[in-house]
């Protein structure tokens, strides 16, 4: 199909407009972050003397080192376990066709559209009973469970589409189910697993509700939870708030820019299948 | 979704039957870990939410049976009804605006640009999906504040009379919160729709043009039906985000002024942890979950491909 030149130009203009709207909040935060401390910034004005030192202040004030460590620990606790058990369940339900697979799958699906707010109150009392309030486990354990509907759905979709003949051939060779999984299915599932890993990483890192309800100490929270605490504490200091927020965003942005191709693929697939 | 054909006959069949008897039930071992985590941290709490919703309970003392009273309150209390209404107003912003703008841009762009320009556009449009919603809330609170960029622009073009603290103003608070949500989903929807439009058979457009269809007819007859699935995806994701919104509201307005921007998610949090009305909070939580399903299932039904 050929588009006329003017159509192409209008399309591009709209895209660029969209890009500018998307970037505006970031630029406006940057311009505020570079104003001298103690001043009240107005709108978008490039400072005559940019105070890059504000970022160093924010780094200390926000306790970035501790925050990074905390979020890293939470991600390390959630993502590998969630990906492994979701992959196993997806294999069991999608490929092995265990008895009752359909029923179990529908049971998992029930949780797919459930907002986290629907379970947050009982979760609080449950975590309290476990004696885990104010520890990182209070975020890690529930998140693994909350990710199961999507994780299992995602991996099952992959395994259901793998031709059954592949396994039958291996069965004739006398492989056990484990060998079958490990040697044949796991390598084939790598792209699906990679996308799931990226999505769960993002959703863990950005988890806010569980962090503010179950953990009081900002340095034991996820990045999003820490950012919430930072705003609560420095909300009136616009310059520091903007510097700190940008700083807290930086790790995500770096990871995103490095893996942007994989991220976009995962997010597109994730929303299509979810 | 396509299911593989069942009952295939193959040389491995005899072998498989033997395996089937001993191995099928042991296959459950693969599912058990995920099932345990799901039951302990989703199903059990969800059952408890339902149970709490039938009681009057302050979270500490003795719970008193309340039957359906809490639900009655949810559906009759004017504040709570307003709060539920707010969530539906947010759908206009979180869902309809991004899908509308996305459709417009997609039908103008038709094909995602390749090369450096395309990659850059895609990467930037995805940024709001990657950052925490909390960050979006902080950035926009600043943008929409009295001394923020929005007012600066208004004053610059001589519309200074309109300038106001957008998130603090009774009339503009909810639409302003909505705009934050629109900003978050705009990029994702646009890219999904551009990708989708690129998959529509170009001959359909040529046929439409030969029939003398103008841009509007072409959009209605070719683009919309061709994008049904993608539109469904965008609507599903964003409607859930609107109804279950919490992060953005908590950060940008805390629900104020008054109840102007309070949404069910925030009210559940407040009722359960600040006002200690666990029963009422739980009833609202069950209602919220039901509303999400009530909105999402028809969208899925309408936009799924028939063969699905």
pLDDT digits (tens, 9 = 90+) for A212-264: 999 988 888 998 898 888 888 888 888 999 998 998 888 888 888 888 888 88
Element (H, E) at B64: strand B64-65
pLDDT at B11: 46
Architecture label for domain A58-273: Orthogonal Bundle (1.10)
- How far is Cα of residue B96 from the mean position of the Cα atoms in its chain? 11
SS3 for B17? helix
Write a three-state SS string for chain A.
CCCCHHHHHHHHHHHHHHHHHHHHHHHHHHHHHCCCCCCCCCCCCCCCCCCCHHHHHHHHHCCHHHHHHHHHHHHHHHHHHHHHHHHHHHHHHHHHCCCCHHHHHHHHHCCCCCCHHHCHHHHHHHHHHCCCCCCCHHHHHHHHHHHHHHHHHHHHHHHHCCCHHHHHHHHHCCCCHHHHHHHHHHHHCHHHHHHHHHHHHHHHHCCCHHHHHHCCCHHHCCHHHHHHHHHHHHCCCHHHHHHHHHHHHHHHHHHHHHCHHHHHHHHHHHHHHC
pLDDT at A216: 87
pLDDT digits (tens, 9 = 90+) for B229-261: 899 989 999 999 999 999 999 999 999 899 999
DSSP secondary-structure letter at B144?
T
Gap between the Cα atoms of B280 and B268, Å rounded: 8
The answer to whether the beta carbons of residues B102 and B190 sit under 8 Å apart is: yes
pLDDT at A272: 67
Domains of chain B, first to last: 69-303 (1.10.3720.10)
Residue B307: is its pLDDT beyond 50?
A: no
Average pLDDT over chain B, rounded to an integer:
87
Instruction: Please tell me the number of Cα atoms within 13 Å of A172 on its side-chain side.
Output: 9
Mean pLDDT along residues B147-157: 90
pLDDT at B308: 35
Closest-CA distance, A272 to chain B, in angstroms, reads: 6
pLDDT digits (tens, 9 = 90+) for A101-159: 889 999 999 899 999 999 999 999 999 999 999 999 999 999 999 999 999 999 999 99
Question: Testing the interface with B: which of A118, A166, A202, A268 to mutate, by most B Cβ within 10 A?
Answer: A118
Out of B34, B293, B296, whose CB is closest to A89?
Answer: B34
pLDDT at A58: 87
Look up tokens 């009339």; give the residue: B171
Angle, helix A238-258 to helix A223-234, in steps of 10 degrees? 170
pLDDT at A209: 94
Residue A3: is its pLDDT beyond 70?
A: no
pLDDT at B144: 93
Are residues B135 and A224, on separate chains, in Cβ contact within 8 Å?
Answer: yes
B286 contact A CB<8A: yes
Residue B10: is its pLDDT beyond 70?
A: no
Contact list in A for residue B139 (CB cut-off 8 A) is 25-26, 28-29, 245
Under the banding of pLDDT at 50, 70 and 90, the label for residue B262 is very high
**What are the structural domain ranges in chain A?**
5-51, 58-273
Under the banding of pLDDT at 50, 70 and 90, the label for residue B14 is very low
Residue A274: is its pLDDT beyond 60?
A: no
B189 vs A274, higher pLDDT: B189
A68 contact B CB<8A: no
pLDDT at B256: 81
Smallest CA-to-CA distance from B194 within B303, B98, B105, B128 is with B105
Mean pLDDT along residues B135-146: 92
pLDDT at B8: 42
Gap between the Cα atoms of B57 and B44, Å rounded: 18
Residue B270: is its pLDDT beyond 90?
A: yes
Closest-CA distance, B171 to chain A, in angstroms, reads: 22
Out of A10, A145, A213, whose CB is closest to B40?
Answer: A145
The ipTM estimated for the assembled molecules is 0.90
Please state, in angstroms and as integers, the Cα–Cα distance from residue A37 to each residue in A41, A238, A239, B148, following that order: 10, 9, 6, 17
A249 contact B CB<8A: yes
Contact list in A for residue B3 (CB cut-off 8 A) is 160
Which value, in Å, is the radius of gyration of the alpha carbons in chain A? Answer: 23
The CA-CA-CA angle for residues B246, B252, B256, to 5°, reads 85
DSSP secondary-structure letter at B27?
T
B35 vs A98, higher pLDDT: B35
Gap between the Cα atoms of A124 and A128, Å rounded: 6
Are residues B134 and A208, on separate chains, in Cβ contact within 8 Å?
Answer: yes
pLDDT at A258: 87
Contact list in B for residue A19 (CB cut-off 8 A) is 120-121, 124-125
Q: Is the dihedral of CA B249, B252, B254, B258 positive or negative?
A: negative
Are residues A206 and B108, on separate chains, in Cβ contact within 8 Å?
Answer: no
Q: If you count residue pairs, one on A and one on B, with CB atoms under 8 Å apart, how many are there? A: 315
Gap between the Cα atoms of B235 and B251, Å rounded: 24
pLDDT digits (tens, 9 = 90+) for B53-111: 999 998 888 889 988 999 999 999 999 999 999 999 999 999 999 999 999 888 888 76
Under the banding of pLDDT at 50, 70 and 90, the label for residue B181 is very high
Closest-CA distance, A18 to chain B, in angstroms, reads: 8
Mean pLDDT along residues B175-202: 92
Q: How big is chain A, counted in residues?
A: 274
pLDDT at B213: 84
Under the banding of pLDDT at 50, 70 and 90, the label for residue B305 is low
Q: What is the pTM of this model?
A: 0.89
Smallest CA-to-CA distance from B268 within B55, B54, B80 is with B80
Gap between the Cα atoms of A43 and A28, Å rounded: 7
Are residues B38 and A23, on separate chains, in Cβ contact within 8 Å?
Answer: no
Say whether the peptide bond before residue B257 is cis (omega within 30 degrees of 0). Answer: yes
Angle, helix B78-91 to helix B278-303, in steps of 10 degrees? 30
The answer to whether the beta carbons of residues A139 and A74 sit under 8 Å apart is: yes
pLDDT digits (tens, 9 = 90+) for A57-92: 888 888 888 888 999 999 999 999 999 999 999 999
Smallest CA-to-CA distance from B189 within B199, B200, B178, B181 is with B181
pLDDT at A47: 79
Mean pLDDT along residues B214-230: 88
The answer to whether the beta carbons of residues A62 and A228 sit under 8 Å apart is: no
pLDDT at B86: 96
Gap between the Cα atoms of B223 and A192, Å rounded: 30
Gap between the Cα atoms of A214 and A223, Å rounded: 14
Mean pLDDT along residues B282-303: 93
A258 contact B CB<8A: no
pLDDT at A120: 95
pLDDT at B2: 37
Element (H, E) at B288: helix B278-303
Closest-CA distance, A143 to chain B, in angstroms, reads: 8
């Amino acid at each position: 199909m050929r588009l006329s030149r003017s159509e192409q130009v209008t399309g591009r203009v709209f895209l660029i407009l969209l890009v500018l709207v998307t970037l505006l909040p970031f630029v406006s935060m940057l311009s505020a972050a570079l104003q001298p401390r103690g001043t009240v910034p107005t709108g978008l004005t490039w400072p005559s003397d940019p105070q890059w030192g504000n970022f160093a202040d924010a780094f200390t004030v926000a306790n970035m080192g501790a925050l990074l460590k905390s979020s890293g620990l939470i991600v390390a606790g959630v993502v590998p376990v969630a990906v492994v058990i979701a992959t196993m369940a997806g294999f069991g339900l999608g490929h092995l066709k265990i008895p009752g697979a359909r029923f179990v799958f529908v049971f998992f699906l029930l949780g797919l559209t459930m907002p986290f707010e629907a379970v947050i109150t009982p979760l609080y009392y449950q975590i309290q009973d476990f004696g885990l309030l104010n520890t990182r486990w209070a975020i890690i354990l529930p998140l693994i469970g909350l990710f199961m509907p999507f994780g299992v759905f995602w991996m099952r979709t992959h395994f259901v589409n793998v031709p059954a003949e592949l396994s039958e051939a291996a069965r004739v060779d006398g492989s056990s189910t484990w060998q079958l999984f490990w040697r044949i299915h796991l390598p084939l599932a790598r792209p699906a697993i990679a996308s799931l890993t990226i999505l769960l990483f993002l959703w863990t890192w950005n988890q806010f509700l569980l962090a503010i309800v179950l953990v009081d100490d900002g340095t034991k929270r996820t990045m999003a939870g820490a950012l919430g605490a930072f705003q609560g504490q420095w909300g009136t200091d616009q310059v520091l708030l903007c510097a700190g927020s940008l700083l807290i965003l930086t790790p995500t942005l770096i990871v995103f820019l490095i893996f942007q191709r994989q991220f976009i693929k995962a997010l597109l697939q994730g929303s299509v299948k979810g | 979704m396509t299911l593989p054909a069942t009952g295939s006959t193959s040389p491995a069949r005899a072998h498989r039957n033997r395996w089937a008897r001993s191995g099928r039930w042991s296959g459950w071992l693969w599912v058990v870990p995920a099932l345990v985590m799901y039951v302990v941290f989703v199903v059990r709490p969800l059952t408890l939410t339902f149970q709490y919703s039938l009681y009057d309970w302050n979270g500490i003392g003795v719970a008193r049976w309340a039957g359906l009273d809490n639900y009655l309150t949810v559906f009759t209390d004017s504040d709570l009804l307003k709060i539920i209404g707010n969530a539906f107003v947010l759908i206009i912003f979180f869902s309809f605006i991004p899908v509308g703008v996305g459709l417009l841009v997609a039908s103008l762009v038709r094909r995602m640009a390749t090369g450096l320009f395309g990659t850059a556009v895609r990467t930037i449009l995805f940024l709001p999906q990657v950052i925490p919603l909390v960050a979006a809330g902080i950035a926009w609170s600043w943008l929409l504040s009295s001394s923020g960029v929005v007012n600066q622009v208004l004053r610059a073009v001589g519309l200074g009379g309109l300038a106001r603290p957008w998130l603090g103003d009774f009339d503009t608070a909810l639409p302003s919160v909505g705009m934050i949500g629109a900003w978050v989903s705009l990029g994702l929807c646009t890219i999904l729709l551009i990708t989708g439009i690129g998959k529509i058979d170009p001959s359909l457009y040529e046929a439409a043009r030969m029939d003398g269809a103008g841009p509007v007819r072409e959009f209605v007859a070719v683009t919309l039906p061709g994008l049904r699935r993608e539109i469904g995806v965008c609507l599903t994701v964003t409607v859930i985000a609107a109804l279950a919104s919490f992060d953005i509201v908590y950060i940008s307005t805390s629900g104020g002024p008054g109840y102007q921007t309070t949404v069910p998610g925030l009210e559940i949090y407040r009722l359960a942890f600040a006002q200690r009305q666990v029963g009422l909070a739980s009833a609202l939580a069950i209602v919220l979950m039901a509303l999400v399903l009530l909105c999402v299932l028809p969208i899925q039904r309408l936009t799924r491909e028939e063969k699905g």
